[in-house]
Structures are given as C-alpha cells and as structure tokens.
Homo-oligomer: A and B are copies of this chain.
Amino acid sequence: MKSTIPEPTLRRLSYYLRYLERFKEKGLNIISSKELSIALGLSDAQVRRDLFTLGGFGKRGVGYDVSKLFNFLNTFLGLDNLQSIILVGCGNLGKALLQYKGFKKRKFIITHAFDNDKRLIGKKIAGINIQDSKEMQREIRKHKIIYGIIATPASSAQGVVNSMIDYGIKAVLNFAPIKIHVSQGIVISSVDLTTELEWLSFHVHHGT
C-alpha cells in the first residue's frame, strides 16, 4: 500500500464495497470487471484500473474474488470496527440524522448529540439524549471520539468546527452551506443540498 490512490478512485471505493456486499449476499463468489462496471455505471476499464491501483486482486481469465475484495476494501477504508460520531445541531436535519438507520448498518453510530437551544437540551431522539454544547469537550475527550457531524446553521458552523477540533475531532461531515476551513491533518467533507439542486437546475436549463 504505497503508491498514492487518485481521489476519484477513492471516492468510488465505497460504492464498490456496497455492491460487493450485495453480490456476496446473492451468493456470488467471483465477479468480473464487466459486471461490476455495469452495476456501478462505470467503464470496465475503469474498474480494472481502480482495482489494479489498489494492488490487483483479480485472476486473469477468471475475475475478482468477491469476499477477498470485500474484506480488503473494508479494512482499507478503516471500517472493521464500529466508529462513534458526535452530532452538533439538532434542528430538523440533525434530528433526521439521529434517526437515520443507514449509519448503524455501516458501522457508524452517533453516540452523542449537542445543541445550545434550551428547548432541545434534555430531549431524547432515537434513544440519544441531546446535551448542552458545553458538554461537548468532556464527552469527546472521555470517549476519544474523532468523528463529528455539523448540522448547525451556516453562521455558527465554523466556530463549532474549531471547537470540535480543539477537543480532538479529526474528521468532520459538514451539512452547513458554507466553506469550512480546517488545518492540516483534519479531514472534512461537505454535503450541500441546494448546491446539488442548483447543479441539476443548470443541466435542466441547458439540456443535460
């Protein structure tokens, strides 16, 4: 594992993993680059290149071993153990994320939720108690949590992220519609719903 993996390849890895899991459930042991490419909507050449870059797991004339590849990707992505997440901002989106079942299925679990709205503190959503943001530092340190989700308004997002990072968070998933600046060594990924709609709008108005 040394030659650097291209970012686009990395982004596809989760999808490979998901489809490999499905193929496994269906009882398939071997899969070809062609079959994978059809499922994922890629070219077969790209699938081969991606898997080749990861180390080359196939057998010529045969294909890829589904379980072997699945296990490799799972470990490679760091998904062998359950990973805890804190969530800050328990408005509509935050609440939905707390209730979202998809995370647990993939070995991520939101264990703590914070807000600074007195009306929300103390409420329980999906079994998780909403705590005062002031408790954040204690909880992050105590449980050595490194993942944080930001579902606050844009105006407070950067400040909350700065605090999180001070307390030990290493990776942030941001839902606030703003560019968050973080220092070296911290990873951040942003999901911006209106940006997606605007991109669709462009294509609709300019004919794909």
Q: How far, in Å, is A54 (CB) from chain B's closest CB?
A: 12
Any B CB within 8 A of the CB of A18: yes
Please name all residues of chain B whose beta carbon is closer than 8 Å to the beta carbon of A199 when the two chains form the complex.
10-11, 13-14, 189
**In the complex, per-residue mask of A163-180: 1 if CB is within 8 Å of any chain B CB, else 0:** 000000011110001110
Any B CB within 8 A of the CB of A194: yes
In the docked arrangement, what's the CA distance between A181 and B93, Å? 27
Please name all residues of chain B whose beta carbon is closer than 8 Å to the beta carbon of A105 when the two chains form the complex.
194
Residue contact B177 to A79, C-beta cutoff 8 Å: no
Q: How far, in Å, is A41 (CB) from chain B's closest CB?
A: 5
**In the complex, per-residue mask of A93-124: 1 if CB is within 8 Å of any chain B CB, else 0:** 10111011111011010000000000000000
Chain A interface size, as a band, is 35 or more
Q: List 24 A-B contacts (CB under 8 A).
A: A1-B206, A10-B202, A13-B199, A14-B195, A15-B179, A15-B195, A77-B198, A78-B204, A79-B198, A92-B101, A93-B100, A96-B96, A96-B97, A97-B193, A103-B193, A103-B197, A106-B197, A171-B203, A173-B193, A184-B208, A187-B200, A187-B203, A187-B208, A191-B196
Q: Which of B78, B100, B106, B170 contacts A92 (CB 8 A)?
A: B100
Query: 5 shortest A-B CB distances, which residue pairs?
Result: A96-B96, A78-B205, A171-B200, A14-B195, A187-B203
Please name all residues of chain B whose beta carbon is closer than 8 Å to the beta carbon of A78 when the two chains form the complex.
201-202, 204-206
Please name all residues of chain B whose beta carbon is closer than 8 Å to the beta carbon of A189 when the two chains form the complex.
196, 199-200
Q: How far, in Å, is A68 (CB) from chain B's closest CB?
A: 19
